[in-house]
């Protein structure tokens, strides 16, 4: 469970925070114009770095988020739109090194959709625009390849033969850069072809996406010194195409998928559907992505979206969503385009892995070990499929490093795909009058002077009587992976502490019917259920009990190692007295010699059991009838002896706990992060960042079927 949040009011500029809230809800015209100007400057600065200088100062997710904010502002205040706004143009500025070429037809960009509701709105708009002329829509759904947009121009020579005339980047949509010399090095791009159609237009215009396969990026980066390596395949593809020396591009194994023909080409060839268009491109010998599908409903589109959101990590190229197009070309022509985007298509993007948000406040979280963690309260933002309103700032050093302030626009991501964290501050968007955040010197709960032990980045409250620490310790004890006692929410524990019914975690086992029945929301049935849950929890697995004690550095994995490796005097039921005696008998050398324990954990255990209050807590558990149960020894073959596993994603039939038990019963270890020491990554559906880490390190990948075969 999360720590207790407490506002440190002496650091907060209350007036400034109120101003931020007002700006977020009711912006004046002047404020909107100022914010829009800052957004325009920042977006173009980031675009220049990314598209021209091949440097990624901010991810595409972040650039998208800033652009969406600007679109929202300009929609609310149309008169603040400027002709050079990023919302009014396509692509990026040209850098002047390569020849500029005017496009045969202006290049458009796609409007984005980030949710099912936005797709519904899009379809409603098309239905209203087309009236009753069409009964139903048929769509073509394609993968949205994360690469560099390129237009290929083929010129008719004789009979039905066409030769590559030039290749042009999208550029600003009106003119692009001539990169024919590097595109010719892409082996999958035909330098000529025979058109198997009756018509023979003078020029054929084909658009597509040049990309760098993931394997090619890995090979490329392996040959580059650290600091000069490419951040992602898209950057590498862009940098490769813009090389003046075609031999450099030739060495990088670029590839291409094409997906569109120019309007004049389409009309000249008499193409009536998007599917026919794709078949025509394929007939020319030009590569298309064959994962395209015909869709008749939003349900079909959502199924493909969810399917490839799970598969994207295992594809040999990067994708960031789907592209949905109306199949009927007449419908496309009737709908037309806005100033820069077709009305008949949408880019349905996967949930952002990074997003921007505004910091509304910085509050302090007090954990069960007294650790003080600063937490940023954010303007709500959709991140990796969920709405995020809070993000960790870790500690005082991190706040100082970032110079994060209330009112800042920040980049947020999910650390390990779970916990939101602030990555950096967009200083160019900082409002006037912001003030630096100064870390407190006293606990926000009990006002005890904070301490920062040598060698640690975390400040702690040292008081044993801190109500916030006591609250967190009890919440930890009843949590899922400890005693797992249902019925004790945060508010209930706060009420128990405030009424003096509990003072520590062991007091939970002394609660009576009369104690609970008068609590808010407690009626007879709930009271009886909670008392039954408490009674059932008196016999708890040993590893869960050790974890429930809340000893610093003792997580679930470490608690399980201690439960398996220490010599417990009784079996299978272990009394609290036996636990106290066993822990007291351990020397620093004995503990630190256990594989997976280490010096920090050894010191923490010795320090914990040396405190009178902690030994008294064990005695209190004893009086409450709590007994820790040791698990039976496994008789399975030790096929994973000495092997380390990491798990990611959702397995088809096994739960994570079941898979971990199978590994440990057979002598293996389970780690939470991928490293050079990892032997196997057990890969389920919708994997997180661990999958990418494993690919970089060359870790052996296992699906559930292969894993179960190894288990035997």
Catalytic residues: 144
DSSP structure class, residue 108: -
DSSP-derived secondary structure letter, 433 = T
Residue 606 and residue 347: Cα distance in Å, rounded? 57
Question: Is there a contact between 367 and 130 (Cβ–Cβ < 8 Å)?
Answer: no
361-364-367-369 Cα dihedral, nearest 10 degrees: 150
Other CB atoms within 10 A of residue 641 CB: 10
196, 199, 201, 206: CA torsion to nearest 10:
-50
CA-CA distance, 174 to 172, in Å (whole number)? Answer: 6
Cα torsion angle, 78, 83, 89, 92, sign: negative
- C-alpha–C-alpha distance, residues 659 and 225, integer Å: 39
Distance CA 325, CA 249 (A): 32
Can you say whether residue 667 is alpha, beta or left, with left for phi > 0 and alpha for psi between -120 and 50 degrees? left
Give ∠ CA 458-459-465 in degrees, rounded to 5. Answer: 130
Give the DSSP H/E element, type plus range, for residue 425: strand 419-425
Please check whether residue 107 is in contact with residue 207, taking contact to mean a CB–CB distance below 8 angstroms.
Answer: yes
Q: Which of 503, 551, 370 is nearest to 446 (CA)?
A: 370
Question: For 539, left (φ over 0), alpha (ψ -120 to 50), or beta?
Answer: beta
Question: Which residues partner with 3 through β-bridges?
Answer: none
**CA distances to 493, 545, 565, 664 from 633, in Å:** 36, 18, 11, 11
DSSP states of 453-492: -TT-S-EE---TT-HHHHHHHHHHHHSTTTT--TT--HHH
Helices of type H across 131-184: 180-183
- CA-nearest of 449, 542, 543, 549 to 504 is 549
């Amino acid at each position: 469970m999360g720590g207790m949040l407490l506002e440190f009011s002496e650091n907060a500029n209350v007036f400034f925070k109120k101003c931020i809230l007002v700006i977020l809800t009711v912006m004046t015209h002047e404020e909107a114009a100022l914010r829009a100007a800052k957004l325009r400057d920042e977006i173009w600065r980031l675009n220049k770095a990314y598209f021209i200088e091949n440097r990624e100062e901010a991810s595409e997710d972040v650039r998208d988020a800033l652009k969406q904010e600007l679109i929202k502002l300009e929609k609310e205040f149309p008169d603040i739109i400027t002709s050079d706004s990023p919302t009014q143009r396509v692509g990026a500025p040209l850098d002047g090194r390569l020849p500029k070429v005017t496009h045969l037809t202006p290049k458009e960009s796609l409007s984005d959709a980030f949710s099912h509701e936005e797709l519904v709105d899009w379809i409603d708009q098309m239905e209203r625009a087309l009236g009753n002329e069409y009964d139903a829509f048929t769509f073509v759904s394609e993968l949205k390849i994360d690469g560099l947009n390129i237009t290929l121009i083929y010129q008719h020579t004789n009979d039905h033969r066409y030769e590559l005339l030039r290749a042009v980047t999208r550029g600003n949509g009106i003119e692009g850069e001539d990169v024919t010399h590097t595109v010719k090095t892409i082996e999958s791009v035909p330098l000529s072809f025979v058109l198997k159609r009756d018509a023979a237009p003078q020029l054929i215009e084909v658009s597509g996406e040049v990309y760098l396969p993931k394997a090619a990026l890995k090979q490329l980066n392996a040959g580059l010194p650290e600091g000069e390596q490419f951040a992602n395949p898209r950057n590498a593809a862009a940098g490769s195409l813009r090389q003046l020396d075609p031999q450099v591009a030739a060495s990088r194994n670029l590839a291409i998928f094409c997906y569109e023909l120019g309007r004049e080409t389409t009309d000249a060839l008499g193409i009536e559907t998007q599917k026919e268009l794709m078949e025509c491109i394929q007939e020319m010998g030009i590569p298309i992505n064959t994962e395209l599908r015909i869709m008749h409903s939003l349900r079909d589109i959502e199924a493909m979206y969810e399917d490839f959101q799970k598969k994207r990590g295992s594809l040999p190229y990067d994708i960031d969503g789907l592209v949905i197009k109306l199949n009927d070309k007449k419908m496309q022509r009737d709908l037309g385009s806005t100033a820069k985007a077709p009305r008949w298509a949408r880019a349905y993007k996967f949930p952002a892995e990074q997003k921007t948000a505004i910091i509304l406040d910085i509050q302090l979280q007090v954990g069960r070990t007294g650790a003080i963690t600063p937490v940023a309260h954010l303007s709500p933002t959709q991140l990796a499929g969920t709405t995020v309103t809070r993000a960790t700032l870790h500690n005082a050093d991190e706040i100082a490093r970032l110079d994060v302030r209330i009112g800042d626009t920040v980049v947020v991501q999910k650390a390990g795909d779970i916990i939101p964290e602030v990555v950096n501050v967009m200083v160019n968007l900082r409002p006037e009058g912001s003030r630096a955040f100064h870390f407190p010197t006293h606990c926000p709960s009990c006002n005890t002077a904070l301490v920062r032990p040598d060698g640690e980045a975390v400040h702690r409250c040292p008081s044993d009587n801190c109500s916030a620490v006591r609250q967190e310790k009890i919440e930890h004890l009843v949590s899922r992976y400890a005693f797992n006692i249902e019925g004790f929410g945060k508010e209930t524990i706060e009420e128990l502490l405030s009424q003096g019914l509990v003072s520590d975690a062991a007091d939970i086992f002394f609660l009576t019917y009369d104690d609970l029945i008068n609590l808010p929301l407690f009626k007879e049935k709930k009271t009886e259920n909670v008392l039954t849950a408490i009674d059932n929890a008196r016999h708890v697995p040993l590893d869960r009990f050790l974890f429930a004690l809340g000893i610093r550095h003792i997580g679930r994995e470490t608690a399980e190692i201690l439960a398996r490796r220490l010599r417990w005097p009784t079996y299978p039921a272990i009394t609290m007295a036996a636990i106290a005696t066993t822990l007291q008998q351990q020397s620093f050398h004995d503990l630190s010699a256990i594989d997976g324990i280490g010096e920090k954990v050894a010191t923490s255990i010795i320090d914990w059991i040396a405190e009178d209050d902690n030994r008294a807590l064990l005695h209190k558990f004893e009086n409450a009838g709590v007994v820790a149960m040791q698990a039976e020894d496994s008789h399975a073959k030790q096929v994973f002896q000495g092997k380390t596993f990491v798990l990611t994603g959702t397995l088809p039939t096994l739960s994570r706990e079941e898979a971990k038990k199978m590994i440990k019963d057979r002598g293996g270890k389970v780690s939470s992060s991928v490293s050079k020491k990892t032997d196997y990554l057990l890969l389920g559906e919708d994997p997180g960042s661990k999958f990418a880490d494993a690919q970089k390190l060359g870790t052996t990948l296992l699906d559930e079927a292969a894993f179960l075969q190894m288990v035997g």
